[in-house]
Structure formats: C-alpha cells, structure tokens
C-alpha cells in the first residue's frame, strides 16, 4: 500500500518541499497514519563538509547520554534542537541534530591517519548509539542532507518539521502502511545511512537472510522493520565493494536465471552470474518498489515481477518518481516523457550538469 514520491533537480537547483508534499499527500490513502517521512539533499550548505546526525530520544536524559557519547568521538561544530510545530504533533520524541567531524582520538582532535576512514568510523558510532543507548536512534547521518520522519500522515509530518523552511535539490517522500512491523518513529521511512536514503513499498521477505549477512560485516539492524536492510546493503555494495549503481540493482533484484541464460554477450552473462553467486545473501525477495537517494543522484528499482508500482517523469533539468502517475503531475503539471519501468528495470539519475539525463537500465546491456 505505501506511497512513494521523489523529485530531483539534475542541476542542483534548490527549492522547498512544497511540490513533494503535494505529491505524497495525494497518496494519503496509501497509508494509515502510522508513519510518514521526507529526505532532503542540499539543505545544509553551511555545514556541507560535516556529518549531520539527526537523533531522536525518548526523553532529555537519553539525549544527554547521546550528546556525551558524541563528544567523546566527534568534534561537535553545532548542536541544536530540530525546529518543530508542537501543535501539529504533541506526542513526539526529543529531536536534536549534531553537525560533527570524526575525532577518533577524542573530541579535541580531528580525524587523521592514512588508514582512517571517516565514513566507517561514523557508521560504527551510529550503530553503537542505536544498539547501546536504549531509547535513542540516529535517523540521519549523511552530509548536507536530512531525514525528517515520524508517526503521522504525510501532511502532519511535513508541517510538524516545518519543511517549508528548508531548500534542497532532491527530495524523497513516503507514506507508510505498516503491516508486519510496528508503526513507530524510528520505523518510519526514509531509512538513511551516510548519503543513502531509501523509501520502500512492499515487503522484504528475505529480511532474515539479509539481516544476518549485514551483521556479519558490522551493520546492526534494530529498527523493527524490514526496509532498513536496503540502505545498509547499498552502502555495503557500492561504497565498500565499489559496485556501480546498475550492478547493485542486479544484486538486489537479479533477473531470473532464464533471462540471464538468454544474454548473448558471454562477458555480460558471466558478470551477471558472478553477481548472483557472490552476493546471493544480499538479494531481496518479495514484492517491492524502492526509491533511493544518494549523494550523486537518485534511482528506482522494483522486484522482477513488479508486484509494486513505480512511474517516472521528466522535464527540463528535473526527474520525478512516484507510485502513481497522478502524483507526478502534482509535482509538475507539464511533466513529459512519463515512463513506467518494466519489472526489475532500474531508472537512474545522476548529477552531471546540464547534459545529464535519465538512464533506464536494460537487462541485456
């Protein structure tokens, strides 16, 4: 049932969330009021070199524990409450954001050392908070982006977080209809890790296998919803293993063996077989449509039977994604080149200046 929307300016023109709000509010009936959220890229240009950690905690005491932990491992450039309208949602966690720089030798020292990896360090500390500090969760950990989510309708969450006051060049939105997992603030979408943010419609029936696979490599999955594994798998496949976006989609939603066997190019067929074998435990099973934002762009993918919908549109300098065609026109009434991808077919947009365009993946190319 869940609703999905996405908007991206290929030239990184920033705007507030008014258009993405209209698109996801049109899909209000795809949710049940138990979860909604937004991700926005480019909203913190003044801190674009710093990790922006959005933290939710059950009370001020827990938030103080998080703050103390972060001061031990990061240099904190700015700490502030996330602005909200309490009159929209009065029962909510404590919400703060920390703009930080990794400091592995303590908060008085900056990150250094030839073998030190800031991203790995930040992930490690995010996982330690999520697992080790009861009642606290890091909902957003990338640079120059923020995730705003909670229990409520898409309109409630947008107004609660005052998203009219932010400007970004890429937006994701989600309206949740939780079925097998609870509706709670940490379990709302988008899910984020570093630059990766995902919204998901459907069910990841392979969650148990995916979870055990990720935990082998240090990722902790404890947000009580199956969608969480997708963001972590993208980080593992692309950032850590260096796979392309297209190859990573072949891992997450691999073509059927019968399709692979029909590929005439031997080198291409061998590559797809290798991806299926090497990353078998990273494959996603179940009915799903996924929209992912990342530092270099945005892409969508569905399962190979396409049991959940996805549509894509384009205008000069922009691309739009949604579960429903009508929602594309809420973002741009003159939307052109409206396209419905085939089952398992990725649609990829990257920031490459004025000449960048939507890339539609082919299972045979």
H/E stretch holding 271: helix 266-278
The residues with which 359 forms a beta bridge, in sequence order, are 348
d(CA 65, CA 60): 9
Nearest Cα neighbor of 179 from 62, 31, 291 is 31
Environment class of 107 (CB within 10 Å of its CB; exposed 0-12, middle 13-18, buried 19+): middle
Per annotation, catalytic residue among 2, 221, 335, 347: 2
> 36: part of which helix (H) or strand (E)?
strand 36-41
Told to judge if 335 belongs to the known catalytic residues of this protein, a careful annotator would answer no
Helix (H, G, I), strand (E, B) or coil at 58: coil
Query: Among residues 188, 72, 182, which one has the least CA distance to residue 132?
Result: 72
Q: How would you class 87 by CB atoms within 10 Å of its CB: exposed for 0-12, middle for 13-18, buried for 19 or more? A: exposed
The catalytic residue positions are: 2
């Amino acid at each position: 049932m869940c609703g999905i929307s996405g908007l991206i300016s290929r030239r990184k023109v920033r705007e507030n969330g008014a258009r993405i709000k209209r698109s996801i509010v049109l899909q209000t009936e795809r949710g049940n009021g138990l979860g909604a959220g937004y991700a926005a890229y480019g909203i913190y240009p003044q801190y674009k070199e710093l990790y922006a950690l959005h933290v939710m905690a059950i009370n001020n005491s827990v938030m103080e524990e998080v703050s103390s932990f972060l001061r031990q491992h990061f240099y904190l450039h700015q700490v502030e409450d996330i602005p909200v309208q309490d009159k929209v949602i009065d029962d909510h966690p404590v919400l703060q954001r920390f703009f930080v720089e990794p400091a592995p030798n303590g908060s008085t020292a900056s990150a250094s050392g030839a073998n030190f990896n800031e991203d790995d360090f930040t992930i490690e500390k995010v996982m330690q908070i999520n697992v080790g500090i009861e009642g606290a969760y890091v909902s957003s950990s990338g640079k120059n982006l923020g995730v705003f989510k909670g229990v409520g309708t898409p309109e409630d969450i947008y107004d609660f977080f005052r998203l009219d006051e932010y400007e970004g060049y890429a937006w994701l939105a989600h309206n949740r209809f939780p079925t097998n997992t609870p509706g709670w603030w940490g379990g709302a979408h988008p899910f984020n890790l570093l630059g990766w943010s995902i919204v998901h419609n459907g069910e990841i029936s392979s969650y148990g296998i995916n979870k055990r696979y990720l935990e082998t490599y240090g990722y902790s999955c404890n947000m009580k919803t199956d969608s969480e594994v997708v963001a972590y798998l993208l980080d593992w496949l692309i950032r850590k293993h260096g796979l392309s976006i297209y190859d990573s989609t072949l891992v997450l939603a691999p073509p059927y063996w019968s399709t692979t066997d029909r590929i005439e190019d031997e080198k291409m067929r061998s590559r797809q077989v290798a991806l299926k074998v090497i990353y078998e435990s990273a494959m996603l099973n179940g009915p799903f449509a996924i929209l992912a934002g990342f530092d270099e762009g945005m892409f969508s993918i569905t399962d190979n039977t396409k049991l959940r919908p996805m549509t894509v549109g384009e205008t000069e300098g922009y691309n739009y994604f949604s579960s429903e065609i009508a929602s594309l026109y809420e973002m741009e009434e003159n939307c052109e080149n409206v396209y419905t991808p085939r089952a398992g077919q990725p649609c990829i947009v990257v920031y490459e200046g004025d000449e960048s365009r939507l890339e539609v993946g082919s299972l045979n190319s």
